[in-house]
Chain A
Amino acid sequence: MIKFQGISKVFDSDITKKAFSALTSVDFHLEEGSITGFLGANGAGKTTSLKILMGFIKATSGTVEFSEKLGRSPLEVKKNIGYLPERPFFYPDLKGGEFLQFMGQLNQMPRRELNREIKKWSKRLSIDFALDRKICTYSKGMLQRLGVTSSLLSSPRLLILDEPLSGLDPVGRKDIKDILKDLHVEGITIFFSSHIVQDVEEISSRLIVLEEGRLIYDGSTLDLLENNSQNKYIIDFIDVQDEFIRPFEKLIINTSGRLLQLEVEEAQKDKIVSQSVAHNVQIKQILKKQPTLEEIIYNKQYEL
């Protein structure tokens, strides 16, 4: 659906600042119908990439190609894209409903269809109660809901969302994640950036990760987790006798009150379990040791 090819972006220097490279030869493509999380720490180049994608700024080198399914001209392509910028700011003296009318009318939506879509999405995003209020009275979460509503009005084929979950309370985050999941099921291509890895892990099947303007991972979320999973287990025991634990003392990683925790290799696991049965030692739980996506991405010890 989109090919982002060899994109580099250097912000020019002036009297007050040095030139700096925001993106270096970044390549990725978005497949139709995919839901892709765009990850990276602050300043990694996510927003710059999205601005280049939307044509707000020009890349120093490289090209962005859109599939013909989105349209043949830049205006046709935009008609099929729903976009939400990072920390959106709206016209403070307009009412929420007026703003949505504004966005829908720019999308050349027929009035009746626009009213229907505003009603549908504002209700779904729980912002319908505030559409008659001036935007300057909205909270941060309400602004985010309004922004997401406006990006969905024209039934886009591609959604590009820059930090759509920031500023939302847990209920709001869940609402938007559910909507994204539903849209994905309907076949909408979704590309969203976030620095909250848990949210991305929860809903995206594919990941693109940037670090200091360079692409460090582009692939399946599941593959990344699988490739970094370890054949180690954590076994929690309760009320362990000394003679039982003596042979495994080196494996203890935690003791707390009646609880004792061992980290064991897969090969040792069965042996320890059978011995605990023989010694009548109670096992509370056995967990496979699995790094979280956050640990994989932000801890250098894992392989991307």
Chain B
Amino acid sequence: MNYNFQAIFIIAKFTIWDILRSKVMTNSLILGIALGILTFVGKEFTFGAPLKISLDLGMAMVSISTKGIALFFGIGLISKEIETRTVYMVLSKPIKRYYFILGKTLGLSSILIINTAILSIFCLFFYGINGGVIDEFLLMTIVMTILEAMLLMVLVIFFSLVTNPILAFIYGLGIFFISYGLDPIANSLYVHNNSGLRNILEVIKFIMPNFKLLNFRDYLLYNQSVDYSFRLSCFIYAIGYISFLNIVNSIVFSRKNLD
């Protein structure tokens, strides 16, 4: 029998519908309007840097909103299906278990892209009317924001498969913040002088997803140049890590007892 890979896209399609109907996109529109108001108000209180404020606020809102969706919807994406037994209806159909998890992940990833696109349009609009120039690095920063949110999403899906939703939230958010804190810790004098600790931190940095690597906002806001090879390596790192976690999630879910 042929593998029904189309099922992945069918599951993704209905996941998108289900999430869209839950009115999460209303949240994006409200945030977009709030962004406009904030940009306007913020501009009045800044001296000489209205463009930077406009971009900073906009990118922050895109980032927080997308990561919020990744975190909260990611936790329940599979665990809620198991808890409510909808997973039984779907898995009783002629599909492999990993089709299900890949379809759900693809569906939520699409929502992250749609949400980022909506908010980015608002952000770029307000940035543009304040005289900002939309260049290729700005767009790359937005793409990396999506990848950062996707990485967070697959990470919390993994934790939701092996623990429970509350712990998945704590672990996911914990790793996210730790990954941002690792570099300053590794560069501290104390760690620098302690070779054992330095090695441990190097191992942790190698294993843990590095969210900071995917965050180009500081480079953008402070007009720092980022060479193409670094951008490409960050992009490949994100895609690689997301793919790796998707494979791990598929294996874990395929072997999971759905009781």
Binding site for B on A (CB under 8 A): 11, 48, 51, 54-58, 71-73, 75-76, 78-79, 81, 83, 85-91, 93-94, 98, 102-103, 105-108, 134, 147, 150
Contact = CB atoms under 8 A, between A and B. Distances in A.
A75 B96 contact: yes
Contacts of B91: 54-56
A56 B258 contact: yes
Contacts of A89: 84-86
Interface stretch (B16-24, B209-217, B235-243): B16-24
Contacts of B7: 106
Contacts of B85: 85-89
8 contacts: A56-B91, A58-B257, A78-B93, A79-B93, A86-B85, A87-B85, A106-B95, A107-B94
B92 A90 contact: no
Contact of B93 (A11, A88, A107): A107
Interface string B102-117: 0000000000000000
Interface residues of B, number: 28
Given A11-B259, A58-B257, A108 B88 contact: no
Contacts of B11: 106
Interface of B: 1, 3-4, 6-7, 10-11, 14, 17-19, 21-22, 84-86, 88-96, 257-259
Nearest to A51: B259
A81 B10 CA distance: 20
B94 A134 contact: no
A128 to B, nearest CB: 20
B22 A79 contact: no
Contacts of B89: 83, 85, 88, 90, 103, 147, 150
B108 to A, nearest CB: 14
A85 B86 CA distance: 9
Nearest to A160: B92
B92 A98 contact: no
Interface centre among B6, B17, B91, B93 (most CB of A within 10 A): B93
Contacts of A55: 91
Interface centre among A76, A94, A105, A107 (most CB of B within 10 A): A105
B86 A75 contact: no
B259 A94 contact: no
Nearest to B96: A75
Nearest to B15: A91
A89 B21 CA distance: 17
Given A51-B258, A85-B89, A91 B14 contact: yes
B11 to A, nearest CB: 8
Q: Which 5 pairs from chain A and chain B are nearest by CB?
A: A93-B21, A83-B92, A106-B93, A85-B88, A89-B84
Contacts of A76: 1, 94
Given A106-B10, A106-B94, A57 B17 contact: no
A106 to B, nearest CB: 4
Contact of B22 (A48, A72, A93, A102): A93
Given A94-B18, A94-B21, A103-B93, A75 B4 contact: yes
Contacts of B257: 56-58
Contacts of B4: 75, 106, 108
Given A56-B259, A57-B257, A89-B86, A75 B94 contact: yes
A253 B204 CA distance: 82
B71 to A, nearest CB: 20
Contact of A108 (B19, B21, B94, B259): B94
Nearest to A162: B88
Contacts of A56: 88, 91, 257-259
A72 B11 CA distance: 25
Contacts of A78: 92-95
Nearest to B88: A85
B86 A91 contact: yes
Contacts of B14: 91, 94, 98, 102
A73 B21 contact: no
A130 B213 CA distance: 50
A72 B10 CA distance: 25
Given A51-B88, A91-B14, 6 more contacts: A51-B259, A56-B257, A78-B92, A87-B85, A89-B84, A106-B94
